[in-house]
Structure 1
C-alpha cells in the first residue's frame, strides 16, 4: 500500500482536466456538458456492478449525446495507479477492495475533487433537499479529509454481534443488554454444549470491533477522538482498558470456541451457521456473505454490543457505523462535472432502494429501505440504526493510519488468546500510536 500510494503523487501541474462545464441551471445544477464522454470505474466485488450500470443508464437518458465507458474491475488500485501517475484518470472511481489506492495519499497529493458542489446540489428525486441532507449520519464525515469531502461512500455498515433468532427462541435465551448479562448467558450456553462465541481468528479486526465499540460506549465521543487524534496516553483511557478486560474475561472463562484463532472468516462464519457457536462479531455484510451457507430458518439478526456498566456515556442502543464502497472524482478527470452528476444519480433514493433490494445491504441514503420487506438480518440492521438515532460512532484511525490499525489487530489477537494482559494490550498499542504520532513522514488528520 505505501508503494502504491506513493506513486500517485507523480504528475505535473500542467496535467489539467479538459474544460467540461456548461451553464448551471435548475435542471443541470452541476453544469454538465451534454456531449462530454463519461468514464466510470467500479469495483466489481460482492455487490457486483449492476447497480452502477443502472445509474449509468439513467445518466445516458439524461445526456443521450454522452458516450459512457464502464469498467468493472477486481483490482482497482493496480489498474488506476498508472493512470493517476500519468494524469489521465477516469471521471469516477469506486476506490474499494483489496489493494485500493490509499485515500490519505491521494488527498495529500491533491488528486481528488472537493465534492462540496455535489453535496450542496439538490437531490435527484427528493425535491427541496440537498444531497448532503439525504445521507445517513457520518457519511459526509467518513469522506472528509482536512476539511474537504473528497469521497462519498455508497453502503452503510453497522457492526455488532450476530446470533440466530430461531436458536435463541428454541433455547429460551434472551439477548443481553449488559456485559454482566452476557457473561451469565455465556455460562448457560456453554452448559448446552454450544460454544458461546466464535470469531474470524485469522483476522482479529473482527473481534476488535465489539471491543472498541464497548470502549466508545464507556468513554463516549471524547475517547474516540483522543484515539483518532493520536493524543498522548489515549490507549490508556479507562474505557479502553475496561473493554480489553471484558474480552480477556471472555477468553479466560473458556467462552470462545476452541480453535477459533486458526479460522478464516468463512470458516468461522460457517461454524456459526452450523450452530456450533451462539455469537459471532461482524459487520452488516454478514447476511449477504452467508447466502447459501446459512440453513433455512436460521433467521440471523444483529444485536448491539452490551453496555459495560451503568455509567457508560453512550446508551446501549449506540452503534458503531460507517459508510463504505468509496466513490471519488479524480482532480484531473476530463469530465469532473459529469462524474459528480453520476454520483448524484447513484445516490438518489430510487437507486439506493434498488441496491438494497438486490444486495440485502443498507445503503448510505436515508430512507432507502422504507416500504421494503426486509430479510431478518437487514431488518435488524435497519432497526439498530433507527434505535441509535444520532448515537452512532466510528473510529477513523484505521483509515488514516494503517500501521496503527495492524498493531491494534495484532494486540487484540494476542489478548483474546490469553498471551497478553489488558495492561500489556494497552501499553503495546500506545507504543505503536506514539510511533505514528512522531513519524514526520505520515500525514496527520484530526477530528
Structure 2
C-alpha cells in the first residue's frame, strides 16, 4: 500500500473502477494458471523415513473440525519476512486459529533466510508445521517432495470451506491455484497470493513530466532517452538478490515475441528450447537496455536499495510483482504513486498483444509431513483461506489472495489498482514453472541475467549458457522431472 500524504503511516484509499470479481472473471476467461514466483535453494539432505513418534494423531472430526485436528495440539508457523512482512500472521491468521482452537498454542516466527534457518530442522526431523517457503533463500520444492518431506494437501482441498460447508476449499480458489501447486499428480504447495508482474513507475512523476507509458519498444527506448536527459537512471533492478525480477521480464518478452509455448517448452526441458529465436531476441533487447539505460553499480545492491532509489525518483522503471508497493510503504513519499505497466512489445510482429502479462499465484505455503502437527498445519491453511483470512491479508499487505472474490467491495491502493487493471485489460496471460521445478536452472538464470544486463553479456552467450544447464538437468537421472 502507498502512504497517505495526510498520514504517512496509513494506507491511501483509492477509488478503482474495478473489483476483485472483475479481475478474477478476466483471469478465469483467460484460462490463467499460475506459478510460484520464486527461485530455489539447496535440497534437504534427508530421505524418506518413518513418522515422528511425537506427531499428533489428531482428534475427532466434526463440522467445525473436518480435518480431525487435536484441539489442544500446538502449531508452529514460520513466515518469510519479505515484502508482505509477517504482521498478517501475528495480527490475523494466528488469532483465527486460536479462536477456533482456544487450547492450542500457535508459535509464529519469521526469517529472511528460510533455507538456512529451516533446512537443518527438516534434515533433523524437527520441522515446523507450516512454512511460507518464499524469498531468495528458500528450500527446493522438488527436493522436499522427493524426500517425502511435504504433506499431501488433498484432504485440505477436499475439506469444506470455513465460510460455506457446501463448497470445498478447492472450490473457493482462483482457477489454476491448485494445479500450480501440484507435483506428479499430488498437491503439495498452497500458493496464497495472486500476483501480477510488470514494470513499475511513479505515476505522479510521469504526470508532472508529461511522459506517456509506452507500449512499443521504440516508444520505450525514446522515453528512456528522455528520462536519462532528465538526470534520472531510466531502468534498473538489484543484482545482488533480485535478478529473477529481471529474468521474469526477459521471459515475458520472449513469450510475447514467440508465443506462450516458448515458456512451456522451456519448462518441459525440450531440446533447444532456450535457443529459440524469440528468447535470443528478448535477451538482445534487454541487454541493450542494461548497457545504455541502467547503472552497473546496481549489480551489487539489494532489492530494497534500488527500490528506495526509485522512491526518491532516482530510478524511473523497476521490474517487480505487485508486492512492491506494500514492501516500500514505509519509505514511499507523498510525491510517489506506484503504477504498473505491461512489458512493451519488442517487435511489430509479436505473437502476443502488448497488453499481455505474466500473472501468478505465488507465495508458496507448505505443511511439513514430518512436523508435530500436520493436521493442524492444514487447518491453519484452511483458516487462512477463509474470506476473513483473505480479507485480513489484503488489509495488512495491500495484496490480493488466491481466494476468489474475497476482496470484493474493498478499496484497493493505487499500485494494486493499476496492476489489477492491467490484468483485466490483458488479452492473454501466461506463466512458467522451471524456477519452481529446477533449482539449478533458476540459479543459472539469475547469474546469466546479471551477466547479460550488467556485465556486457551477449544474447548468444545467454541462450547457450541456459541451454547447457537445461541439457545437464535433463540428463541427470537423479533429478525428478516435471512436465505441463
**TM-score, reference length from structure 1:** 0.89
Q: Give distance in 1, aligned partners of 2:373 and 2:301.
A: 46
The Cα offsets for residues 271-316 of structure 1, whole Å up to 9 and x where unpaired, read as 2222223211122222122223232121111111112235433333
Q: Give distance in 2, aligned partners of 1:186 and 1:174.
A: 11
The Cα of 1:258 is off from its aligned counterpart by 6.0
Q: Would the aligned equivalents of 1:135 and 1:366 in 2 still touch at CA under 8 Å?
A: yes
Partner of 1:245: 284
Partner of 2:229: 191
Q: Give distance in 1, aligned partners of 2:81 and 2:298.
A: 26
Q: Give distance in 1, aligned partners of 2:435 and 2:306.
A: 23
The Cα offsets for residues 382-438 of structure 1, whole Å up to 9 and x where unpaired, read as 22333348x332222122222222222222222223623212221121112111111
Partner of 2:320: 282
The Cα offsets for residues 341-373 of structure 1, whole Å up to 9 and x where unpaired, read as 221111112111111111222322233333222
Q: Would the aligned equivalents of 1:9 and 1:105 in 2 still touch at CA under 8 Å?
A: no
The Cα offsets for residues 178-215 of structure 1, whole Å up to 9 and x where unpaired, read as 22221232233333333322222334323222111111
Partner of 2:476: 439
Secondary structure (helix, strand or coil) at the match of 2:144 reads: helix
Partner of 2:254: 215
The Cα of 1:79 is off from its aligned counterpart by 4.9
Structure 2 residue 78 is matched with structure 1 residue 42: yes
Q: Give distance in 1, aligned partners of 2:105 and 2:388.
A: 21
Q: Would the aligned equivalents of 2:198 and 2:321 in 1 still touch at CA under 8 Å?
A: yes
Which has the larger displacement, 103-112 or 123-132?
A: 123-132
Which of 423, 426, 434 is 2:463 aligned to?
426
Q: Would the aligned equivalents of 1:175 and 1:303 in 2 still touch at CA under 8 Å?
A: yes
Partner of 1:233: 272
Partner of 2:447: 410
Secondary structure (helix, strand or coil) at the match of 2:259 reads: helix
Partner of 1:353: 391
Q: Would the aligned equivalents of 1:21 and 1:337 in 2 still touch at CA under 8 Å?
A: no
Structure 2 residue 106 is matched with structure 1 residue 69: yes
Q: Give distance in 1, aligned partners of 2:279 and 2:449.
A: 12
Q: Give distance in 1, aligned partners of 2:41 and 2:439.
A: 13
Q: Sort the Cα spacing of 1:128 and 1:382 in 2 relative to 1 into closer, same or farther, 3 A.
A: farther
Q: Give distance in 1, aligned partners of 2:46 and 2:430.
A: 31
Partner of 1:309: 347
Q: Would the aligned equivalents of 1:198 and 1:272 in 2 still touch at CA under 8 Å?
A: no
The Cα offsets for residues 50-86 of structure 1, whole Å up to 9 and x where unpaired, read as 433433323333334x422313132544554454345
Point out where structure 1 has 5 or more consecutive residues left out of the alignment: none
Task: Give me the CA root mean square deviation.
Answer: 2.8
The Cα of 1:380 is off from its aligned counterpart by 1.5
Q: Give distance in 2, aligned partners of 1:308 and 1:181.
A: 10
Which of 320, 333, 343 is 2:358 aligned to?
320
Q: Give distance in 2, aligned partners of 1:86 and 1:267.
A: 36
Which of 282, 286, 294 is 2:332 aligned to?
294
Partner of 2:432: 395
The Cα of 1:163 is off from its aligned counterpart by 0.8
The Cα of 1:234 is off from its aligned counterpart by 0.4
Q: Sort the Cα spacing of 1:255 and 1:61 in 2 relative to 1 into closer, same or farther, 3 A.
A: closer
Q: Give distance in 2, aligned partners of 1:230 and 1:314.
A: 22
Q: Would the aligned equivalents of 1:197 and 1:279 in 2 still touch at CA under 8 Å?
A: yes
Which of 206, 210, 217 is 2:245 aligned to?
206
**TM-score, reference length from structure 2:** 0.82
Q: Sort the Cα spacing of 1:81 and 1:250 in 2 relative to 1 into closer, same or farther, 3 A.
A: closer
